[in-house]
A and B are shown apart, each in its own frame.
Chain A
Amino acid sequence: DVKVTQSSRYLVKRTGEKVFLECVQDMDHENMFWYRQDPGLGLRLIYFSYDVKMKEKGDIPEGYSVSREKKERFSLILESASTNQTSMYLCASSLSRNTIYFGEGSWLTVV
């Protein structure tokens, strides 16, 4: 069974804090993705990684960075959280150009 695990389901952080969202997949997938989902805006790609230590910007990378030190783990970092980063964050993974599988999501509230 496909498994993408996001370690934190619900987080509340203060403005200016550094925030780490962690994602792990157990399917030996090359590609991993971070999307955010907002009402009326749908899913938007923040960053993706096609190999260890490799990353590419998505459509809305500003204010975010990522880290992929191991194949199974992909972290999203908010260097200095702001209220407009309150959202649901979705991690996903895939084999090259195959179906993308999503985790359960992390709800982040920045106050």
Chain B
Amino acid sequence: EDQVTQSPEALRLQEGESSSLNCSYTVSGLRGLFWYRQDPGKGPEFLFTLYSAGEEKEKERLKATLTKKESFLHITAPKPEDSATYLCAVQARGAQKLVFGQGTRLTINP
């Protein structure tokens, strides 16, 4: 069974304090690993898709990396507006659906 585990559950940082969120996964043949951002009361907003180990993608202060067992979302010099829940999901080869982790709730204090 495909599984995704995210850690930590919650993370509180000061503005400008860089850190990383972890997503560990087991999947029967990975087609893609997805990162989403979710603000309170809203639907998930797509950030990145990673397809193979060694791949990296960047968007503003966020950088996602992928290995064969896990993905990291690195946040560099975060700002309060980066506060959100970050969700990781995997899609197996041949599957349409995503399997999600529980999410990491990130709070950036000014």
Interface residues of chain A, those whose CB is within 8 Å of chain B, are 4, 31, 33, 40-43, 45, 48, 50, 58, 90, 92, 94, 96-97, 99-105, 107
- Pick the residue among B41, B46, B91, B100 that contacts A43 (CB under 8 A): B100
CA distance A92 to B98 in the complex (A): 11
Give the docked Cα–Cα distance between A42 and B101 (Å): 7
B: contact size bracket = 20 to 34
User: What would 13 more interface pairs be, CB under 8 Å, given A90-B43, A100-B46, A102-B45?
Assistant: A33-B96, A42-B101, A42-B102, A42-B103, A43-B98, A50-B96, A96-B96, A97-B91, A99-B49, A100-B98, A102-B46, A105-B41, A105-B42
Contacts of A99 in B (CB 8 A): 34, 46, 49
* Chain B residues within 8 Å of A94, by CB: 96
Instruction: State the main secondary structure of chain A at its contact with B.
Output: strand
Using CB atoms, name the residue of chain B closest to A103: B43
A40 cross-chain contacts in B, Cβ below 8 A:
102
